[in-house]
């Protein structure tokens, strides 16, 4: 007999799988596949060519074009170093909130969709609903492009993709792009009393980070007023940001550091090209490298692009926006500064919108939660979608 779950019960099952990005998500995906196939829904796994991870796609409804994709990622961010008061991998309900890693970002949306599979099957769908579940969204939206390509041929082409990231069920039609870079500075070790004969990788990294910081400050000063008249003005903040999140290097206080590594993310407003920013940073690093190589030819700066995620662009008369507004009643304009897979679906030829339960303010936090009210709002939204596609 096919297993059924309420949305909260399904969320409890999904949260119980530790799918932090450095782990495999296959146990979770095997559960989802078994659940869907228990209801007679064929589910296809798309394996990563290197890692022990998979994406999944499935379809419910008639084999016709024009359907709607429900897109969600299965990976979550780490909990190490965070002061949780509940078990992050066990759903805890308290005071109208559901606590657990991934409840908000973004297993809540996927749990609601999966719990409604029996209703989808019972409905007289005129256009299909397709599930698209990915991995490694949190480390650069890596899995969406190959999944989009994989599901394009065997499934009838859908028209719309709804990315269920937490928006408090507001209809988000644009978000910033992001590039993630890793910089490795190789210096030359000498006693610090003779530092002029060596190259301190830490101090060179500081010069690069100072440039990164200066760009963000300059962008902030040049930012447009938040009056909505300029494309980037509605973003918070309304400028491109460059940020260093991690740094490590050096061996002792009296040795010029041989190595220093740091990570950078660049989040661009729509009218600025992320590739342009990467090029400017590489050009600055090349100038710095030329100087340090005059001191020691072994010194160098290596910049690795870990990920580049295109932003979501507002669509003129976009069918995804029209559908989401019809289902939610939200007619306000919303954009966000965090990245999602929406732009990648747009690049794949789909009309895309970001709309899901929960608040981004709870994402990545200790004691992450989604409110019961938001779960109910998300469930009402997807039930309306089923009804809409049955007409």
Q: What's residue 221's pLDDT?
A: 94
**pLDDT at position 41 over 90:** yes
> Using an 8 Å Cβ cutoff, are 113 and 131 in contact?
yes
| pLDDT surpasses 60 at 391 | yes
Write the pLDDT tens digit of every residue in 253-311.
999 999 999 999 999 998 899 999 999 999 999 999 999 999 999 999 999 999 999 99
- The answer on pLDDT for 224 being more than 80 is no
| The pLDDT of residue 226 is above 90 | no
To 10 degrees, what angle do helices 274-295 and 201-221 make?
Answer: 150
* Band (243; pLDDT cuts 50, 70, 90): very high
pLDDT, tens digit, 9 for 90 and up, residues 108-159? 999 999 999 999 999 999 999 999 999 999 999 999 999 999 999 999 999 9
Q: Does the pLDDT value for residue 234 go beyond 90?
A: no
Task: Tell me, yes or no, if 137 is annotated catalytic.
Answer: yes
Please tell me the predicted confidence (pLDDT) of residue 229. 43
Instruction: List the one residue out of 103, 89, 102, 6 whose CA is nearest residue 370.
Output: 103
248 is catalytic: no
Bridge partners (DSSP) of residue 70 are 131, 162
Catalytic pick from 30, 34, 42, 137? Answer: 137
Distance separating alpha carbons of residues 220 and 212, to the nearest angstrom: 13
pLDDT above 80 for 174: yes
Residue 1 has pLDDT above 70, yes or no: no
Max Cα separation, the chain? 79
Torsion angle of alpha carbons 12, 155, 380, 38, nearest 10°?
A: -40
User: Residue 360 has which token pair?
Assistant: 């981004």
Choose, from 75, 138, 180, 189, the residue flagged as catalytic. 75
Residues 6+ apart with CB under 8 A from 291: none
pLDDT at 223: 86
């Amino acid at each position: 007999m096919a297993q059924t779950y309420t949305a909260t019960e399904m969320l409890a099952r999904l949260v119980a799988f530790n799918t932090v990005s450095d782990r495999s998500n296959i146990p979770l995906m095997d559960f989802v596949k078994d659940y869907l196939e228990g209801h007679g829904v064929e589910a296809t796994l798309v394996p990563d060519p290197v890692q022990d991870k998979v994406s999944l796609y499935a379809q419910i409804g008639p084999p016709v074009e024009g359907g709607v994709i429900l897109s969600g990622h299965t990976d979550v961010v780490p909990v190490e170093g965070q002061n949780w008061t509940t078990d992050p991998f066990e759903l805890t309900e308290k005071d109208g909130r559901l606590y657990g890693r991934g409840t908000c970002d973004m297993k809540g949306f996927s749990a609601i969709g999966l719990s409604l599979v029996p209703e989808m099957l019972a409905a007289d769908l005129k256009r299909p609903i397709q599930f698209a579940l990915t991995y490694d969204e949190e480390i650069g939206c890596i899995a969406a492009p190959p999944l989009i390509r994989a599901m394009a041929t065997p499934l009838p082409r859908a028209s719309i993709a709804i990315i269920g990231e937490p928006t408090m069920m507001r209809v988000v039609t644009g978000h910033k792009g992001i590039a993630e870079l890793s910089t490795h500075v190789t210096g030359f070790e000498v006693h610090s009393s003779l530092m002029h004969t060596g190259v301190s990788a830490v101090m060179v990294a500081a010069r690069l980070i100072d440039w990164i910081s200066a760009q963000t400050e300059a962008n902030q000063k040049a930012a447009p007023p938040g009056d909505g008249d300029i494309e980037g003005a509605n973003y918070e903040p309304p400028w491109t940001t460059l940020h260093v999140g991690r740094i490590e290097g050096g061996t002792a206080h009296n040795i010029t550091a041989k190595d220093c590594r740091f990570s950078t993310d660049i989040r661009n407003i729509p009218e600025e090209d992320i590739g342009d920013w990467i090029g400017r940073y590489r050009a600055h690093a090349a100038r710095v490298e030329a100087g340090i190589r005059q001191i020691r030819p072994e010194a160098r700066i290596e910049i690795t692009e870990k990920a580049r995620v295109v932003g979501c662009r507002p669509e003129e008369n976009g069918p995804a926006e029209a559908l989401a507004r019809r289902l939610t009643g939200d007619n306000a304009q919303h954009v966000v500064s965090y990245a999602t897979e929406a732009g990648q679906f747009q690049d794949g030829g789909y009309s895309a919108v970001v709309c899901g339960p929960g608040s981004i303010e709870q994402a990545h936090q200790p004691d992450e939660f989604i409110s019961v009210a938001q779960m109910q709002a998300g469930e009402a939204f997807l039930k309306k979608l089923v009804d809409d596609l049955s007409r």
